[in-house]
Structure 1
Amino acid sequence: MSSDKFPIHTAIKEGNFNLAKQLISQQSPNKSTLVKDDDDRTPLHWAVSIDNAELVQFIVEHLPKGTDIDELVDGSGWTPLHINSSIGNIEILNILIHTDPQPDINLPTNQGTTALHLTVSKNHVRYASVLIDEMGANCRVKDKKGYTPLHRASSIGSIGILKLLINSPKGVNVNAKDNDGWTSLHHALAEGHGDAAVFLVNEGGADINAENNEGQTPIQVAVDEKVAKYFKEHTSI
Structure 2
Amino acid sequence: MIEVVKLLLEKGAQVDVLDNDGWTPLHVAARNDNDAIIRLLMEYWADPYITCDDNLTPLAYAVRHDQRLAVKALVECGADCNIGSPGEFTALSLAARHGYSGTLELLIELGANIELLDARGESPLITAANYGHLKTAEILLQKGAHVNWEDYDGWTPLAIAARRGYGELVRLLLERGADQSIKKKQGASCSFSVIHRAICVGHVDVVRQLSDATDGQKPPMDTLGRSPLCFAVSHGRHAVVKLLLERESYQASLQDIYGSTPLGIAIRIGYESVARLLFNATKPSLDAGDLLGKSLRWWLSTVATPSMQELFDNLEKGADDTGSESDGNDEGGGMRAHCDICLMRIMRDQPRYHCDACLEADFDACVRCIELGEVLR
TM-score, normalized by the shorter chain, greater than 0.5: yes
Q: What residue number does 1:210 align with?
A: 182
Matches within 5 A, 1:174-193: 174-193=147-166
Q: Contact 1:194–1:230 (CA<8 Å) still a contact in 2?
A: no
- The one-letter code sitting in structure 1 at the alignment partner of 2:126 is H
Kindly provide the CA deviation profile for residues 146-178 of structure 1, in whole angstroms up to 9, marking residues without a partner as x. 11100011122222222211121xx22221111
- The one-letter code sitting in structure 2 at the alignment partner of 1:196 is L
Q: Measured at CA, do residues 233 and 103 of structure 1 come closer, stay the same or move farther in structure 2, by a change above 3 Å?
A: same
Distance 1:229 1:79 in 2: 41
When the two structures are superposed, what TM-score results if normalisation uses the length of structure 2?
0.50
Computing the radius of gyration from Cα coordinates, the structure with the larger value is: 2
- The one-letter code sitting in structure 2 at the alignment partner of 1:206 is A
Q: Contact 2:16–2:46 (CA<8 Å) still a contact in 1?
A: no
Distance 1:211 1:96 in 2: 41
Q: Give the C-alpha shift of residue 81 in structure 1.
A: 0.7
Q: What residue number does 2:86 align with?
A: 110
Q: Measured at CA, do residues 166 and 207 of structure 1 come closer, stay the same or move farther in structure 2, by a change above 3 Å?
A: same
Query: Is 1:123 the counterpart of 2:99 in the alignment?
Result: yes
Identity of counterpart residues, as a percentage?
Answer: 25
Q: RMSD over aligned Cα, in angstroms?
A: 2.6
Q: What residue number does 1:94 align with?
A: 72
Q: What residue number does 1:33 align with?
A: 15
Q: What residue number does 1:138 align with?
A: 113
Matches within 5 A, 1:1-237: 25-26=7-8, 31-49=13-31, 52-54=32-34, 56-58=35-37, 60-62=39-41, 65-69=44-48, 71-75=49-53, 77-99=55-77, 102-132=78-108, 134-168=109-143, 171-203=144-176, 205-214=177-186, 215-222=191-198, 223-232=201-210, 235-236=213-214
Distance 2:205 2:87 in 1: 31
Distance 2:91 2:12 in 1: 27
**What secondary structure does 2:46 align onto?**
coil
Distance 2:11 2:164 in 1: 48
Q: Contact 1:76–1:110 (CA<8 Å) still a contact in 2?
A: no
Q: Contact 1:177–1:184 (CA<8 Å) still a contact in 2?
A: yes
Q: Give the C-alpha shift of residue 32 in structure 1.
A: 4.3
Higher RCO (C-alpha under 8 Å, 6+ residues apart): 1
Kindly provide the CA deviation profile for residues 168-203 of structure 1, in whole angstroms up to 9, marking residues without a partner as x. 1xx222211112111111111122101101211112
Q: Measured at CA, do residues 89 and 128 of structure 1 come closer, stay the same or move farther in structure 2, by a change above 3 Å?
A: same
**What secondary structure does 1:53 align onto?**
coil
Q: Measured at CA, do residues 227 and 37 of structure 1 come closer, stay the same or move farther in structure 2, by a change above 3 Å?
A: farther
Q: Contact 2:15–2:46 (CA<8 Å) still a contact in 1?
A: no
- The one-letter code sitting in structure 2 at the alignment partner of 1:67 is A
**What secondary structure does 1:137 align onto?**
coil
Distance 2:29 2:164 in 1: 34
**What secondary structure does 2:185 align onto?**
coil
Q: Give the C-alpha shift of residue 227 in structure 1.
A: 3.6
